[in-house]
Structure 1
Amino acid sequence: MSKSKRFFSGLLTIVALVAALVVWSMLPWFGVLAIAVAVAAWLAFTRSGAIALAATRIGIAGLPQRWGASSVIVIGIAGVVGVLVAMLAMGEGFKATLSNTGGTDTAIILRGGSQAETNSVITRDQVPLISGLPGIARGADGQPVSSPELSQVVNLQSKADGTDTNVQFRGVGPAAWALRPKLKIVEGRKFGPGLREMVVGRGAQKQFANLDVGKQVKLANQVWTVVGAFESGDSNESELWADVDVLGPAYQRQAFQSVTVKLDGKNGFKQLSAGLAADPRLKLDAMTTHDYYAKQSEGLTKFLSVLGIVIGSIMAVGAIFGALNSMYAAVAGRSREIATMRALGFRGVPVVTAVMLETMLLALVGGIIGALIAWVVFNGHTVSTLGNNFSQVVFQFRVSPQLLWTGLKWALGIGLVGGLFPALRAARLPVTEALRAG
């Protein structure tokens, strides 16, 4: 074969391999299951499959004698899967925390065009106008259920490394508790109206220093007493809460930044949006609180997913080369064994299949180990990162079954690439040459 034909043949093989890996990575679980069932049926019910299975058993039986080379494949793939799943679990946990915040029965109102509370301003004279809009539910006292709120970023010391960290200090109105029914005081009590008292989220307590109930914290040159702690299972646990009428003057803030309201039934949001659009004095936008917080997670989640895939891909290249070297060495060391099998009637397809199955078995073991390590070490691990409000959001890594499945697919894909070329070499090795080399 001429050099040009070899070049184009190799190029075609690489293109086909890349296409196969792309298709493989996109396959749902039932697609992978179908392929596995088809391969198992071929191994069990065809003559060439039975020969391939026998050759595979011979190769697997020799793995203990090649434990060093085999461990390179297992450890390399375990590292790839562990890092990939951990990175994706970070993004999944951040997304889940913000997606669980708020609901479709409440809405947040911001200045028109604002993407977050930090760049929103709602003047005090606009608050009564908002309360009078249609679509806002009324409480037992007949008053609209709305909470004008202020979000102030403050510096607290991180427990992890002692550095100053941005934390969201939220001033809320009396209706804030009814608007967030998942939020429960689990220690101490609520802050008193008109007092420099605060309640803190459990997530904030875990990450930041001096937030135990009974402690005093100096903020804005004033001493605030922590009188309670709350849990909510969402991003609110990253915050400190106080009376908005006390927090505003402490930071010389004359306006609010958002107004959270309870929606009146299924059509409440449409009525509220129409009311805002119809009043020229209110150049404000409304979103359901669920959509608002879910949108805040999009950027970082995508970044972490892309970063995880990039880092995982770089590590996967290393793992593939490790698998290639190990399997080439294994094929070279078993050249006489392979030649003997071929002399006995083992054709090219069974030999290729045997080497591929052996490599993918090692890859599967590495993938399972990596996935288990990621689940044990990272699942539920609490961290914090900077959110859209330029303050820390406390969340937990979330190693979901879907991420574990993604890691295993990557492992099998690496095994597929790492075993293919050594398998082809084993099938093409001339019998006489292999016997002399052995």
Structure 2
Amino acid sequence: MATQDALEVAATAPMNRFHFGLLFWCSFIMLFDGYDLVIYGSVVPHLMEQWQLPAVQAGWMGSAALFGMMFGALTLGPLADRFGRRRVILAAIALGSLTAFANAFAWDAWSFATFRFITGIGLGGTIPNIVALINDMAPKARRNIMTTIMLGCYSLGALLSAVVALMVLSRFGWESTFVIAGLPLLTLPWMYRFLPESLPYLVVRDKVAATALLRRIQPKLVIEQLHWPSLDTQRISAPVSGLFTEGRGVRTIALWVGFGMCLLMVYGLNTWLPKIMVAGGYPMVSGLMFLVTMNLGSIMGALGAGWLADRWGSKPTLMMSLTLAVVSLSILGIKPGPVLLNVMLILAGAATIGSLSVIHAFAAQQYPSDIRATGISWCSAVGRLGGIAGPALGGLMLSLNLSMQLNFILCAVPGVIALLAIALVTQREARAASPVQLHDINI
């Protein structure tokens, strides 16, 4: 009688209701992650006016959430390899949404930054784990597109934040935008019911639950023909050390640099694009619309990059996206006419978010499943240094009163660095390392 490995069921199953449900909830989570992060760029002019903040201090306030994301990715992300992705995701959502809501009641810059930092911890624990969950559960042929659709919802959330700001800021004040950020708290009971645990995690710890999950993934599965990997509970080296073994050292460092530069571009632009354009002579009323235009391009870029990555491969698509980001940002610096301006904003949004979406999928392919969440988490955490630098350096750049052309050239430099880093990473699919081992996580 022919047998099928339990872990291969998820990789070879056709898309069905289970996969669409998984994609829906992970995308919903990412939607509000994008909203929570980018809403700061919409409210920062109001905060600077209300609290009399200089650009440099406002930049560091924008970096507070990214500091938190680095800490959250570094701690909550790897813990999911040991305690389960579902538990960590739900706890991180509760923490992040509660403190995002609390920002509506901040009384000064310090309280605002503190709440943003704690919100970032929750977001940092959420993003790498939903990426890993998709890669654990999605059919192999659809992993890239499912990952990039989900990450594309970050851009949809960013777009939503600018649209919401246009609708409510003048009537209800900046506080109202953070009240909306607390809405995911109301959906936690449904997430608890419908968000699945990772199959590799259940295979080692709960075969009954793993069997039930396999029936959802593949309703026609014949359990009697299923082969279960042996449950080896021997403790092995910490997953973090695995990021530098078996020839993965250069790859890991290059991915860290690539993540950092992609995040620097994304968060720097989403925080300061309106101010950069105003400094270049555009009217203030156009600031939020420029942000809307760029994030509209971001949505198209994330989806288009996923489609291309499934056909060309992750690395060629990533290199093309980074090149497009450098070119479009450089052209924005020459202050083009209205039509070309909007085209370049759309392309810049598509290329920067497209790069960030694909690099997540690319990184996930570089590590075996037993250290995948750890690998993505460390890429995300170390990359947060670039993300943290984005708002802070943007504030410093604006304080120097540079020309618009030089401002956008500086915005394009991280794209060049990312191109050089990713060129060092050899395109490969990670071996199917056994996920049925317990690990000590020693960070």
Q: Give the structure-2-normalised TM-score.
A: 0.29
Structure number with higher strand proportion: 1
Q: Which has the larger radius of gyration?
A: 1
Structure number with higher helix proportion: 2
Q: Give the structure-1-normalised TM-score.
A: 0.29
